[in-house]
Chains A and B, each alone.
Chain A
Amino acid sequence: MTLAEVQTSAPAIPASALYQSLLRHDAPFILDVRNPDDFARWRIEGRAGLVVENVPYYDFIEDEEAATARIPAGRAVLVVCAKEGSSQYVAELLRERGIEASYLEGGILSWGNLYDRRDIVRAPWGRIIQIARPARGDVSFVIASDGAAAVIDPLRHTAPYRVAMAEAGARLTHIFDTHVHADHISGGPALSHESGAPYFVHPYDAIHPIDMLPATIAYTPLDDGQVFRVGQVELRAIWYPGHTLGQVNFLAVAPDGSRYLFTGDGIFLRSFGRPDLGGKGEAWTPLLYESMTRRLPPHLTDETVILPAHFSTLDEADAAGRVGATWGVVRRNNESLAHLASAEAFSTFVLGNLPEFPPQYVEIKRVNIGLRNPTEAEAEELELGKNVCALAQ
Chain B
Amino acid sequence: MEPTYHQTLDVKGAKCPMPLVKSRKAIGELPVGHILRVIATDRGSVADFQGWVKAAKNVELVAQETTAESGQELYVHYLRRTA
Contacts and interface: CB of A to CB of B under 8 A. Distances in A.
Interface of A: 3-6, 35-38, 56-59, 61-62, 81-83, 85-86, 89
Given A35-B48, A61-B21, A86 B57 contact: no
Interface string B42-72: 0010011011100111000000000000000
A85 B15 contact: yes
A85 B20 CA distance: 12
Interface residues of B, number: 18
Q: Is the interface of B mostly helix, strand, loop or mixed?
A: helix
Contact of A3 (B21, B47, B55): B21
Contacts of A37: 47, 51
B47 A38 contact: yes
B51 A89 contact: no
B16 A58 contact: no
Given A37-B47, A61-B24, A56 B55 contact: yes
B17 A85 contact: yes
A58 B18 contact: no
Interface string B6-28: 00000000011110111011000
5 contacts: A6-B17, A35-B48, A56-B48, A58-B48, A62-B56
Contacts of A83: 15-16, 44
A82 B50 CA distance: 16
Nearest to A1: B21
Contacts of B50: 35
Contacts of B47: 35, 37-38
A379 B44 CA distance: 18
A61 B47 CA distance: 16
A6 B17 CA distance: 8
Contacts of A56: 48, 51-52, 55
Nearest to A377: B43
A38 B50 CA distance: 12
Nearest to A59: B55
Contacts of B20: 57-58, 61
B19 to A, nearest CB: 10
Contacts of B22: 3
A3 B16 contact: no
